[in-house]
Every structure is written in C-alpha cells, then in structure tokens.
C-alpha cells in the first residue's frame, strides 16, 4: 500500500474560532441542564428560561480545542435532527430558521464542529484513503468527518450492508488517534435528502455560515453539489471566497493490485488504482481477508447481534440475520479473533455458510454459553 496524502491545492486558512458565533439550538428535554467537562451548561438539555430568551449572549467553551458556542434564543417549533445516532425530535426556531439547515446533533458524547476542519466524503469503509484525509484535517485543526446518510434510499440504489457496522464506527475512529496527534476525530452525519439539491456554492455557504467550520479537506476526485456538479478545484475556489481553508489530498494508491482487479475495472471504469470502498467490498466478496486488511489498515470486524444464538460447549451458532455489516465470502476462516462487547475473548475458527455463522473457540477452557450470556454484540476479526 502506498501512502500518498500529498496536498495538491489549498486555500488560505483563516484564524479560528470565528469571532461571531451563530448556531441553532439543539434537542431539549424536561431535564435540567447538564454541565460540560469545563463547567458550562449545555442549553440543549433543558428548556430555555425567559431570562435567557431575552438576552443576546453566548458562552464559549474550550474542550480539546473544540468550541461550543451558543447564540441567540428564538421561538420554538418542531423539527427532525439526523445524526450518527439516527433521527430524534428537537425544538428549533422559526420556520425560516429551520428551512434547509444542516441539522447535526451535538450530543452529550459529541461536540460541535464549530471552528474545526471537516473531511468530506461518504466514508463507508473508513479505509486508509479516508484516514489520510482525517490526518490532513488534524494537521490544520480539530478533525471531524462530515458524511452523508440515506444516499441509496434517495437515489434508488440497491440496499446493501455497510462495510463498518454503525455501532463500530467510533472504535475505528478512535484507533486513528495516534495518526492525528492523539486526538480522536468525531463524525457527524447529515441526511442526504437535506443537501442533494444544493448548488456547490450553497453547500460551501452552509459549511461557512451555519456550521462555522474553519476549513475542509477532500480527495482529488471529490464531487459535490447537485448532480455532482462541483469538483475539487471549485471547492478550493469557493472556500477561498468564503474565507475557509481548503486542502485537496491526492489519493492513497493500491500498489498490490490483487488478481480480482480485472473484474473490478469492468464494474467501475473510473478506477485508477486508488484505495476505495468498492475495492474493499469486492475483496470481501472474494474472501481475500489479507487484502482487506491492507486496504483498511486494520483487521475487518464483522459484528453480530446476540439476539439469537445457539451455544454448545465451544461452539456459537449465529444466524446470518444477526449480521450488522458485510461479511467475507462464505467459507472457512482460521486464526480469527473473537470479541464480546469489545472485550477480547481469544482465537477461533469461523465458518460462514448460507444460513449461519459458526464459531468454534480454540481455547478449551472457555464455555461458549458463559461468554455470550448477558451480552449484546459479538465481533469477529478476520486477517
């Protein structure tokens, strides 16, 4: 695998954080406000008092170089917030304020992207090319991933399982911290339906005026805007116009070019040998887990829900319906690693067939039923 990551173009970077914060209010409940780690209450956890509503004030909290700024309180109405945790109800301001907004959750375990550097993409596989984008973002500021969900539903594509289970994405991003100055990048997901009709200019304007980011990082082949009308060069030009830093990173190339690539090119003629999510999917479909490891920069983890499982002394049998992401090709795999709720159990052999995933533990001292009791997920690492 050849690590590239060369910055091909960049627009001037502006100082951060922005001098005038502006951020819509987020979900509230009847619970009293909680305080953040630095002692500033997050208004999103409680109803705004009349005193707050009458004031034009904001608070600024520095937490791991990220800024959470709360601005003007406005009238309430109902909207939907979409985040990596799914949709939830929220009270926003007037109809004008909520129209066509990026509605991104700043939950208790996340922080706003305000003042950060966002890497742009779909980030399905979280492969080494994606990691390179985030590394570049970490060099310029606090790194975030801004990805879009619901693309297949909106465009009518065939539904398929994710490469990385949704519940496993934070673990993968945390593993990138050593590459990012020991800072864990956070991910925010936006419904594609909210942004699909935006022109390239409108998209960058939202990044600048609504998300208040300091800059963006994108790949050389990145397309954005309605019908993918904008390219990397236009992204740089628009970011310069709006005072944002922009970094265009050359792709990470796949030097090994495994034997299946001839079939891959017949599926995607635009392939130029770069690491991609499509390559990962095809490598999994062929059962080439060593190649998958090279593309991802880590072992592939298949996550299974433990809603239904059948255990004998050393065997665990889980139906395929419990899979939360894409498995490798049906077959036998040895020297796998088993984890239960992220706790390391040990080595095992795994057989995937048309109906089930059969796991046989190598350690004779372990009892399969005891391992899975009162747990939610089992992870199988291949490679």
**pLDDT number for residue 5:** 59
Question: 165 pLDDT band (50/70/90 cuts)?
Answer: very high
284 close to 325: Cβ distance less than 8 angstroms = no
Beta bridge partners, 114, equal: none
**pLDDT tens digits, one per residue of 178-226:** 999 999 999 988 888 888 899 999 999 999 998 889 999 999 999 999 9
* 241-282: pLDDT as tens digits: 999 999 999 999 998 776 554 544 444 556 778 999 999 999
Residues 6+ apart with CB under 8 A from 212: 17, 18, 21, 22, 23, 69, 113, 114, 115
Residue listed under structure tokens 């984008």: 133
Q: In this predicted structure, which of 13-22, 59-68, 237-246 has the lowest mean pLDDT?
A: 59-68
Are 135 and 5 a contacting pair, CB within 8 Å?
Answer: yes
pLDDT of residue 231: 95
Cα 188–191–193 angle (5° rounding)?
Answer: 155
Domain boundaries, the chain: 110-249, 299-382
Name the band, by pLDDT with cuts 50, 70 and 90, for residue 52: very low
Average pLDDT over residues 307-323: 86
Highest-confidence segment of 69-73, 96-100, 168-172, 374-378 = 168-172
Amino acid 7: pLDDT: 66
Which of 246, 104, 252 is CA-nearest to residue 187?
104
For the chain, helix (H) and strand (E) counts, in that order, are 12, 17
pLDDT surpasses 80 at 83: no
Higher pLDDT among residues 307 and 208, named by residue: 208
Q: What pLDDT is stored for residue 72 in this prediction?
A: 23
Phi/psi for 295 (5° steps) reads -70, -40
Angle, alpha carbons 233-238-243 (nearest 5°): 125
Rounded to 5 degrees, φ, ψ at 84 are -65, -20
Quick check: 180 and 135 in contact, CB under 8 A? yes
Please answer whether residues 374 and 281 qualify as being in contact, where contact means their C-beta atoms are separated by less than 8 angstroms: no
- At 159, the pLDDT band (50, 70, 90 cuts) reads confident
Q: What pLDDT, on the 0 to 100 scale, is given for residue 113?
A: 67
Average pLDDT in the chain: 75
Separation between Cα atoms, residue 297 and residue 283, nearest integer Å: 14
Q: What pLDDT is recorded for position 334? A: 96
pTM of the model: 0.72
Mean pLDDT within 167-179: 97
Q: Which fold has domain 110-249?
A: Rossmann fold (3.40.50)
pLDDT mean over 306-316: 80
Pick 326 or 60 by higher pLDDT.
Answer: 326
């Amino acid at each position: 695998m050849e690590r590239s990551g060369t910055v091909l173009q960049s627009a001037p970077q502006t100082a951060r954080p922005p001098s005038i914060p502006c951020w819509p209010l987020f979900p509230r409940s009847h619970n009293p406000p909680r305080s953040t780690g630095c002692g500033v209450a997050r208004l999103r956890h409680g109803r705004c008092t009349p005193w707050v509503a009458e004031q034009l004030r904001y608070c600024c909290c520095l937490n791991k170089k990220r800024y959470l700024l709360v601005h003007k309180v406005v009238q309430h109405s109902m909207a939907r917030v979409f985040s990596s945790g799914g949709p939830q109800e929220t009270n926003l301001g007037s109809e004008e304020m909520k129209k066509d907004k990026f509605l991104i959750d700043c939950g208790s375990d996340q922080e706003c992207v305000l003042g950060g550097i966002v890497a742009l993409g779909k980030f399905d596989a979280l492969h080494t090319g994606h990691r390179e984008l985030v590394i570049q973002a970490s060099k310029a500021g606090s790194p975030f991933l801004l990805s879009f969900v619901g693309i297949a539903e909106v465009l009518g594509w065939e539904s398929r399982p994710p490469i990385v289970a949704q519940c496993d994405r934070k673990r993968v991003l945390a593993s990138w911290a050593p590459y990012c100055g020991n800072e864990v990048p956070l991910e925010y997901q936006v419904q594609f339906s909210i942004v699909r009709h935006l022109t390239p200019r409108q998209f960058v304007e939202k990044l600048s005026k609504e998300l208040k980011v300091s800059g963006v990082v994108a790949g050389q082949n990145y397309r954005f805007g309605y019908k993918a009308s904008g390219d990397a060069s236009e992204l740089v030009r628009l970011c310069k116009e709006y005072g944002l830093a922009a970094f265009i990173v050359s792709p990470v190339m796949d030097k090994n070019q495994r034997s299946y690539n001839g079939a891959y090119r017949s599926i995607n003629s635009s392939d130029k040998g770069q690491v991609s999510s499509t390559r990962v999917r095809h490598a999994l479909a062929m059962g080439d887990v060593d190649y998958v490891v090279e593309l991802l920069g880590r072992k592939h983890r298949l996550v299974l829900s433990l809603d239904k499982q059948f255990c004998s002394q050393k065997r665990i049998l889980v139906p395929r319906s419990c899979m939360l992401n894409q498995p490798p090709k049906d077959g036998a795999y040895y020297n796998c690693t088993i984890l239960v709720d992220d706790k390391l159990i040990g080595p095992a052999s795994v057989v995937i067939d048309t109906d089930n995933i059969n796991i046989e533990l190598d350690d004779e001292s372990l009892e399969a039923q005891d391992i899975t009791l009162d747990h939610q997920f089992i992870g199988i690492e291949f490679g």
